[in-house]
A = this chain, B = another copy of it.
Amino acid sequence: MVSMKDIAIRCGVSVATVSKALSGQQDIGEATRQRIVRAAEELGYTGNSLARALKTNHTYNIGILFSDLSNSGFMHEYFASTLNSLRTEAERCGYDITFISNNVGHQSTSYLRHALYRGVDGVVIICADFRDPLVQELVNSEIPVITLDHTFNNRAAVLSDNMDGMEALVRYAYEMGHRRIAYIHGNPTAVTENRMTGFYRACEALELTVPPEYIEECEYHEPISCYHATKRLLALAERPTCIFFSDDYSYIGGSNAILEAGLRVPEDISVIGYDGIHMAKMLSPKLTTWQQNTTELGRIAAARLIERIEHPRTTPPEHIVVHGGLLEGETVRRLD
């Protein structure tokens, strides 16, 4: 590994001079700078982030914390897509990304310890169990943190408009003439609870009464349990005319249940998903759903976190809502 020392020797200057020349200080002669920069090129100098970080206390590294309870983690397109744009934005700002787990070396510790050990400048918390004391410890630490789809007091957060999105979907179904609307919601998290709230709020505003048997629970992002929930709904004496699913992916299970029952979408029953994953547009008929703006979620999360890292004083821990949009597919029939 070629270091500043090598360059210094070759140019007959001190290491300090090399450092200054390469980092663009002013108190250096233009001729010397040129010489040094050229030598650095020729020797293939790369720099050493470890040494730099050790001295400056700034690693240009941000940690990602996501513990996938449901083990869907990476598989969930929501996460994959968000992470992708998060990474892109971070790289654009000169930051790299490292995963933070609750073990370092061979033994398990806390997320905070891991973050401190690696010296990350900040952490994005996504898809994690926010009730976990270890997560709380990290959130309450000195390290800048931003959470996705969950809010903590006095901490930055980026949120998808789950409540508004669900409200808009209900209104859409209502406008299409549906009055008997069922909802298979996911198991309780901040996200699914927000959607529930949106659902009930819209129903109330529209003066829709939802019989309790129209509300089913399934595992979020899990088609099998959704399949069973759907079967239960279809077996009801007074069948709903429209079913809301917890998420697009779960709908695969629901779809199977509907087909098995000999029903057609949307002629016999209408369905609505949530997420707007790529697959939703590929299905036939195309799924009507709410498109989350994962690209913006990831981008903003990275950008805001970096803002807070670089300008802690002037950047308040805001809660930013990213809006999605109705993706009108072909799975909701107009009733008259």
Q: Taking beta carbons and an 8 Å cutoff, which residues of A are in contact with B?
A: 1, 46-51, 53-54, 59-61, 73-75, 77, 80-81, 83-84, 87, 91, 93-94, 96-99, 101, 103-106, 113, 116-119, 223, 249, 252-253, 255-256, 259-260, 278-279, 282-284
Contact = CB atoms under 8 A, between A and B. Distances in A.
Given A223-B282, A256-B284, A282-B223, A119 B75 contact: no
Given A49-B119, A282-B253, A99 B96 contact: yes
Output the residue of A49, A75, A104 with the most chain B CB within 10 A: A49
Nearest to A57: B1
Contacts of A94: 104-106
Contacts of A1: 116
B117 A49 contact: yes
Given A80-B80, A117-B48, A252 B282 contact: yes
Secondary structure dominating the interface of A: helix
Given A98-B98, A119-B49, A223-B282, A83 B87 contact: no
Contact of A98 (B74, B97, B259, B283): B97
A278 B76 CA distance: 11
A120 B155 CA distance: 32
**In the complex this chain forms, how many copies of it are found?**
2
25 contacts: A46-B117, A48-B117, A49-B117, A49-B119, A50-B50, A50-B54, A50-B59, A50-B119, A61-B98, A73-B84, A74-B74, A74-B81, A74-B83, A74-B84, A75-B77, A75-B84, A80-B80, A87-B99, A91-B101, A96-B98, A96-B101, A249-B279, A253-B282, A256-B284, A259-B284
Nearest to A257: B284
Contacts of A87: 99
Contacts of A77: 75
Contacts of A223: 282
A283 B252 contact: yes
Given A96-B98, A97-B98, A256-B284, A117 B84 contact: no
Contacts of A99: 87, 96-97
A282 B283 CA distance: 13
Output the residue of A255, A282, A284 with the most chain B CB within 10 A: A282
